[in-house]
Amino acid sequence: MNDKNIESTLCEERLFSPPAEFSAKARIPDRAAFDSLVQAADENFEGFWSDQAKAELTWHKPFETVLDDTNPPYYRWFTEGELNVSFNCLDRHLKGKADKAAIIFEGERGEVTTLTYRQLHQRVCRFANVLKEQGIVPGDRVVIYLPMVPEAVIAMQACARIGAIHSVVFGGFSAESLKGRIEDAEAKLLITADGGYRGGRIIQLKAAADRALQGGCVSIQRVIVLQHTGHEIAMTGGRDLWWHQIEAKADSHCEPVWVNAEHPLFLLYTSGSTGKPKGIQHASAGYLLGTATTMKWVFDIRDEDIFWCTADVGWVTGHSYTTYGPLAVGATMVMYEGVPTFPDPGRFWKLCQDHKVTIFYTAPTAIRALMKWGDDLPASYDLSQLRLLGTVGEPINPEAWMWYYRIIGNERCPIVDTWWQTETGVHMISPIPGAIPTKPGSCTLPLPGISAAVVDEKGESITTADRGGYLVITRPWPAMLRTIWGDDQRYYETYWRKFDGKYYVAGDSARRDEDGYFWIMGRADDVLNVSGHRLGTMEIESALVAYPKVAEAAVVGRPDAIKGESILAYVILKGDRPAKNGDGGAPLAEELRAWVAEQIGPIAKPDEIRFVDGLPKTRSGKIMRRLLRTIAQGETITQDTSTLESEAILAQLQGKA
C-alpha cells in the first residue's frame, strides 16, 4: 500500500442481535459479560492469561513467568511450565467421558465410524509407541500426508504425545510441494496412505509420496503407509511399513512425554507472496490454550454439542478446530473425508441432519458454491439441530452471509465470522455469539486479551470509519507463531519490520466502523488504485455477488495508462454462462457495471467483465487473485493451476472463450 488510505465505499447497515434463546444459555450471555472480560485483560494482561492457562490446561509442572518479552518479537509464554498436549486432549477426559464419542467419521462413500475418547486414547498410545519404535525422539520432525481420516488426528496426537513435531501437508498438494516441505523440515519419517477419496475418485497419495522421495528427501528414514482405499500400490522394502501391521503389534500403554510450554508442537507451511513456503512454528502450551479458550468463547461449546468443522487437517483450521480444539475441551466432533458436492450438493446438509450437528463451521467458498444450488435443497433436510454457524478463510460477502443466516440457520443461529491466520494459531477477531450483534461481512471485535488496530503507513491508528489501512495486532498473544522454522530473520522481516517490531502486521487491509467493528478488505496487496482512489477488491466482489444472477466474483487490477489501474471482474453466474463473452459488450455485463456503479459508485465500475465457469482457488478455498492478475495482465503463468476443473476454464479466464 502507498501512503494513501483505502477508500471504503460499501455500506452495510443490517444489524442482527444475538437471538434471546441463544444468549439465555450462552457462556458469555451479553455485552456486559464480554466487556468485563475485555476489561479484565486490559487491566491485568498477564494476570488474565495466567488465569486462563490455569483454568483450561492441566500442567505437569506449573509456570511462573506468564509472558517473557525480554527478546521481542521472539515472545515466550508460560516458560517454566511443563505439560503434554495429547494428555490434555485425551487422558484428562477419561475419568468422566471415556465412552463419549470423540470423533464421528463419515467417509465419502457413506461409511460411518465412531471413536470414543477411550478408543481414541488407545489408538494414539499405540501409534505413539510405533513412532518410538521407529526411532522418533522428542524434537524430531514427522511429515503427515494423509486424507481426511481419523488416522490423521491419531498421527498428530501421537506426535504430540512423544514430543515429536508434526508437519501436515495437505493431501491435495503435489509431490513437488511435499518434497519441498520435507526437505525444509528435515523430517525423519513420512506418514501417508495408499490413497484418499475425493469426488468419487481416488487421490494417489502413495504414488505422489514415492515421487517426492525420489532423488531427494535424504532425511526420511521410514514411510508408514495407511491402508485406506485398498488399491494396489508399490511398497519399498526396508523403507515402507504398513500402518495396520505395526499398530497391531504395539502396546496400548504409552506415558506422555512432558515437554516445556515452549516446545514446538507443529510446523505448518504457508505460501507467501514471494519465495519458498514458510514453516510456521507453533508452541505447545500457548497454542493449546488458544484453541481451548476460543472453543468456549467463540463456539460456546457444551458437553452435548456435535461440532463439525469442515476444514481439512492440512489447513490450520483443521489443526485448531479438528485435531486440537474440540479434543482439548472434550467435545464430540464430526469428520468427513469427501467433497461437499458428492454425490450431490446436498451432502453437507445431509451430514448435518444425520449426525445432528449443532455447530457448523465452514468457508465462504463452500457457502457460495452451495448457494448456487438454490434454497430448496437445504430445505429438504432437517437442520433444526443447528444452533450456531461459523465461517473462516475469506471475507464473507454480505449476500452469502444472508443466505447462510436465512436458509441454513433459519434466522435462529448466530453466525461467527472468525478472522485469524495460520500465524495467529486461533481466532483473533470474531463475534461472541451470545453477546455481540453481528453485521453481515464484519468479523466484529477482537476477542478478550487480543489487541487489534487499523493503522496507516506511519503506524498511526485510523479512526475514520470510511478509511482502511493495515490490520495489526498490538500485543503478543499466547497462540501466536514463535518463528518461521529455521529462519528467525524472515520471521522478523515478514511480520514485524514494517513498524520496527512494534506491531504484528497481518498482511490484510481492514477498516473499523463507528461501532469499532472490523471489516477485512482483503490482503493488503489486493488493493486497487483507480484514478487515485484506493479500492478494496473485496467490496467490488461483494457488490457483484449481491446481484441476484451472480454466484461468485473475483476482481483484479490491470495497469492502465490513464487511470493507473483498470478493473477486471471474473464472474460466475448462478445459471449458465452467456455464450458470448467479451469486453463488456454483452448486455448482462452492462447490467452488472450499472449495478456496481449504483452500489458503490462509478469509480468502482469494472472496465471488463469475463464470465467464467470456475475460478482458481488455493487448496483451502481462497481465490488466487495473484494468479488472476497474472492472467489479466497477459503474463506467463508460473503458478499451479491444478485446482481449475478444466483447461477450458483457463481459456475463459484469459478471455479466449
Which residues belong to the annotated binding site for CoA? 198-201, 317, 531
Q: Could you write out the DSSP letters of every residue in 451-471?
A: -EEEE-TTSPBP--TTEEEEE
| Closer CB to ligand 6R9, 525 or 590, in the complex | 525
In whole angstroms, give the CA distance from residue 570 to residue 554.
5
Candidates 520, 596, 644, 653: give the one binding ligand 6R9 (CB under 6 A): 520
The yes or no reply on residue 398 touching ligand 6R9 (CB under 6 A) is: no
In this structure, are strands 101-106 and 332-336 parallel, antiparallel, or unpaired?
Answer: parallel
How far apart are the two ends of the chain, measured CA to CA in Å?
A: 34
Contact with ligand 6R9 (CB under 6 A): which of 41, 246, 306, 443? 443
Distant-in-sequence, close-in-space partners of 376: CB < 8 Å, separation ≥ 6: none
Cα→Cα distances 642→209, 370, 467, Å? 18, 22, 37
Residue among 298, 299, 301, 307 at smallest CA distance from 334: 307
- What are the binding residues? 198-201, 317, 393-395, 417-422, 508, 523, 531, 534, 545, 550
- With binding defined as CB under 6 A, does residue 317 bind ligand 6R9? yes
Q: Does 204 participate in binding ligand 6R9 (rule CB under 6 A)?
A: no
Q: How many Å apart are CA 391 and CA 13, to the nearest integer?
A: 20
List all residues 6 or more positions away from 175 whose beta carbon is below 8 Å from its beta carbon: 208, 209, 211, 212
- Contact status: 332 vs ligand 6R9 (CB under 6 A): no
For residues 524 and 507, give the distance between their C-alpha atoms in angstroms, rounded to a whole number: 6
Does residue 523 touch ligand 6R9 according to CB under 6 A?
yes
Q: Which residues participate in the annotated binding site for ATP?
A: 393-395, 417-422, 508, 523, 534
Helix (H, G, I), strand (E, B) or coil at 429: strand
The count of chain residues that interact with ligand 6R9, using the rule CB under 6 A, is 20
Binder of ligand 6R9 out of 103, 154, 316, 480 (CB under 6 A)? 316
Closer residue to ligand 6R9 (CB): 223 or 415:
415
- In the bound complex, which residue of the shown chain has the CB atom lying closest to ligand 6R9? 422
Candidates 127-135, 235-243, 321-329, 415-423; binding stretch for ligand 6R9 (CB under 6 A): 415-423
Quick one: how far is CA 626 from the chain centroid?
19
| 428 touching ligand 6R9, by CB under 6 A | no
Q: Which is nearer to ligand 6R9, 162 or 445 (CB)?
A: 445
Locate 550 and state its grid cell.
Answer: 451472480
Contacts of 512 (CB under 8 A, 6+ apart): 454, 462, 463, 465, 518, 519
550 binds ligand 6R9 (CB under 6 A): no
Q: Which of 337, 508, 539, 552 forms a contact with ligand 6R9 (CB under 6 A)?
A: 508
Order of all β-strands in the sheet with 101-106: 112-116, 101-106, 332-336, 306-309, 359-362, 388-391, 415-417
Query: Which of 293, 322, 422, 599 contacts ligand 6R9 by CB under 6 A?
Result: 422
Stretch that binds ligand 6R9, among 31-39, 338-346, 412-420, 598-606 (CB under 6 A): 412-420
List 265, 288, 392, 543, residue binding ligand 6R9 (CB under 6 A):
392
State the nearest-atom distance from the C-beta of 238 to ligand 6R9, in Å: 37
Beta strands at 165-168 and 533-536: parallel, antiparallel or unpaired: unpaired
Query: Are the C-beta atoms of 135 and 260 separated by less than 8 Å?
Result: no
Instruction: Return the number of the residue (260 or 618) whose C-beta is nearest ligand 6R9.
Output: 618
Asked if 424 and 479 touch (Cβ cutoff 8 Å), the reply is yes
Residue in 417, 539, 541, 565 binding ligand 6R9, rule: CB under 6 A: 417
Stretch that binds ligand 6R9, among 294-302, 334-342, 345-353, 419-427 (CB under 6 A): 419-427
Site for ligand 6R9 in 604-643 (CB under 6 A): 620
CB of 636 to ligand 6R9, least distance (A): 26
Stretch that binds ligand 6R9, among 220-228, 402-410, 478-486, 501-509 (CB under 6 A): 501-509
Question: Which string of x and - marks every residue 258-277 that binds ligand 6R9 (by CB under 6 A)?
Answer: ------------x-------
Q: State the minimum distance, in angstroms, from the CB of residue 580 to ligand 6R9.
A: 34
- By CB under 6 A, tell whether 419 contacts ligand 6R9: yes
Residue 484 is placed in which grid cell? 518461521
Q: Report how far residue 168's alpha carbon sits from residue 365's, in angstroms, rounded to the nearest whole number.
A: 22
Distances (CA, A) of 427 to 294, 320, 370, 418, 480: 7, 9, 25, 6, 11
| C-beta of residue 33 within 8 angstroms of C-beta of residue 435 | yes
Residues in contact with ligand 6R9 by CB under 6 A are: 270, 316-317, 392-395, 417-422, 443, 506-508, 520, 523, 620
